[in-house]
Amino acid sequence: MVRKVELGEASPTAALLVRLAGAFDLTLAGLLVRAEGEGNRLSRAADQPLWTDPASGYVRRQILAIPEHPIELVEVEMPAGQEVVLPKSSYALIRQAVWIQAGALTIPEGGVRYELQPGDCLAFGPPSEVKFANETGKPCRYVVALDRR
Q: How do 95-102 and 121-123 pair as beta strands?
A: antiparallel
Provide the pLDDT for residue 65. 81
- Which of 20-29, 79-88, 96-105, 127-136 is least confident? 20-29
pTM confidence score: 0.75
* Overall fold of domain 2-147: Jelly Rolls (2.60.120)
Give 28-78 pLDDT, tens digit per residue.
Answer: 666 666 665 555 678 899 989 899 999 999 999 999 888 777 888 999 999
Rounded alpha-carbon distances, angstroms, from residue 95 to 80, 87, 119, 121, 147: 27, 14, 20, 14, 5
What letter does residue 29 receive in the DSSP assignment? Answer: H
> Where do the structural domains in the chain lie, given as residue ranges?
2-147
